[in-house]
């Protein structure tokens, strides 16, 4: 059978359209689902992606980026296909890719990373009907079921308030693109000043320019240390945990650190033993979100990629009677919990 989209050594390739989706090597024509570094690489000849994705890529990558920037839902001709992008609810600009071939064959949808929960910092996820769905499965195990994000934010704000009352600076360790801005959007700025690591500043500016409402932040540098010590909250990538930079913000009562990550659902990981709290907040669909999306898409064939793909593919086959298959992903060369805690979640 000639599939519309196949996995190659450069990534997902659509021959009829003459393009790759989220290629992992430079190619002439790339359709990009979202701006995370493992999906959007520099050096491609021409990109097709949403305005949010291209703005985030331009803020991070040096040099010119040649791009076509359709609106969500706009139909674009590529080769012998019509392509459109639909909100994936993962980070600003994140999109699913719908591909309709001219020959009347099956319509494919490639989800990229997605979540189905509400998130005021990006466009809301939409189910896109299709014949073949290629879904991610980062958290494709039944143990992953997310709490209501409103409750998680209540816990974060309450914890910050009690830390501030005792002169302890609050530190949240989050991924710098997407998760940090989602957390910002949910913070109660009346608790105290908010400082962000340099890596969080750039993407936060792009979100603001895109019209996303976020509280005021200051760069967490030496100049602002005295404002942040005690009542302040600092958002930083996990790599800054335990550094001399972070110790500069220690309040009279000390410092309290928490991870904000989907991986907090898994206990006993080595890197989390050094933090005081964990808040489970993920930008990926949980088990129910994945199954619900598959069901509502109406797809009879489902490809599964990233994470626990074997488990999800087997469940779709055995419990839902679908024709499912695993789409192998690139070997990242990093193993175990380092990848999980250091990577996007």
**Residues in the site for Zn ion, rule: CB under 5 A?**
36, 113, 344
Long-range CB contacts (within 8 A, 24+) of 25-30: 29/78
How far apart, in whole angstroms, are the C-alpha atoms of residue 189 and residue 217? 9
Q: What is the end-to-end Cα distance of the chain in Å, rounded?
A: 35
Query: At its nearest, how many Å lie between Zn ion and the CB of residue 206?
Result: 15
164, exposed or middle or buried, with CB in 10 Å at 0-12, 13-18, 19+? Answer: buried
Minimum distance, C-beta of residue 178 to Zn ion, in the bound complex (Å): 7
Q: Which is nearer to Zn ion, 105 or 343 (CB)?
A: 343
Residue with tokens 């143990």: 143
On whether the CB atoms of residues 330 and 305 are closer than 8 A, the answer is no
Q: Least distance to Zn ion from the beta carbon of 87, Å?
A: 14
Smaller CB separation from Zn ion, 340 or 344: 344
Spatial strand order of the sheet with 29-31 comes to 6-8, 11-14, 19-21, 29-31, 46-48, 67-68
Sheet holding 233-236, edge to edge: 218-219, 194-196, 233-236, 168-173, 254-260, 277-279
Q: Which CB atom, from 81 or from 94, has the smaller least distance to Zn ion?
A: 94
**DSSP annotation string for 255-286:** EEEEEESGGGGS---GGGGG-SEEE---SS--
User: Judged by CB, which is closer to Zn ion: 36, or 168?
Assistant: 36
Q: Whole-number minimum distance, CB 49 to Zn ion, in Å?
A: 13
Minimum CB distance to Zn ion, residue 244 (Å): 30
Residue closer to Zn ion (CB basis): 35 or 184: 35
Q: Which is nearer to Zn ion, 20 or 175 (CB)?
A: 175
* Smallest distance from Zn ion to CB 36, Å: 4
């Amino acid at each position: 059978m000639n599939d519309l989209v196949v996995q190659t050594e450069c990534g997902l390739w659509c021959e009829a359209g003459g393009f790759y989706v989220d290629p992992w090597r430079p190619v002439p024509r790339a359709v990009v689902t979202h701006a995370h570094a493992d999906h959007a690489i520099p050096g491609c000849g021409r990109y097709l992606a949403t305005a949010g994705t291209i703005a985030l890529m331009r803020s991070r990558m040096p040099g010119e980026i040649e791009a076509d920037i359709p609106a969500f839902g706009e139909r674009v001709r590529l080769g012998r296909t019509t392509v459109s992008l639909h909100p994936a609810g993962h980070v600003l600009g994140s999109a699913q890719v719908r591909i309709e071939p001219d020959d009347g064959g099956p319509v494919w949808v490639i989800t990229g990373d997605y979540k189905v929960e509400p998130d005021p910092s990006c466009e809301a996820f939409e189910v896109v009907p299709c014949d073949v769905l290629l879904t991610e499965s980062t958290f494709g195990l039944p143990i992953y079921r997310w709490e209501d994000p409103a409750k998680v934010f209540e816990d974060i704000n309450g914890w910050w308030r009690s830390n501030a009352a005792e002169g302890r600076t609050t530190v949240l360790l989050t991924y710098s693109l997407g998760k940090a801005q989602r957390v910002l959007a949910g913070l109660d700025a009346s608790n105290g000043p908010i400082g962000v690591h340099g890596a969080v500043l750039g993407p936060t500016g792009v979100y603001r320019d895109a019209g996303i409402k976020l509280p005021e932040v200051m760069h967490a540098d030496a100049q602002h240390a005295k404002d942040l010590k005690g009542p302040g909250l600092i958002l930083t990538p996990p790599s800054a945990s335990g550094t001399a930079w972070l110790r500069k913000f220690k309040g009279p009562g000390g410092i309290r650190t928490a991870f904000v990550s989907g991986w907090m659902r898994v206990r006993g990981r080595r890197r989390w033993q050094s933090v005081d709290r964990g808040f489970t907040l993920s930008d990926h669909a949980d088990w129910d979100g994945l199954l619900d999306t598959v069901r509502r898409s109406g797809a009879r064939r489902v490809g599964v990629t990233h994470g626990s793909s074997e488990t999800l593919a087997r469940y779709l086959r055995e419990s839902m009677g679908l024709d499912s298959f695993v789409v192998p992903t690139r070997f990242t060369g990093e193993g175990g919990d380092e990848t999980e805690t250091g990577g996007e979640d």
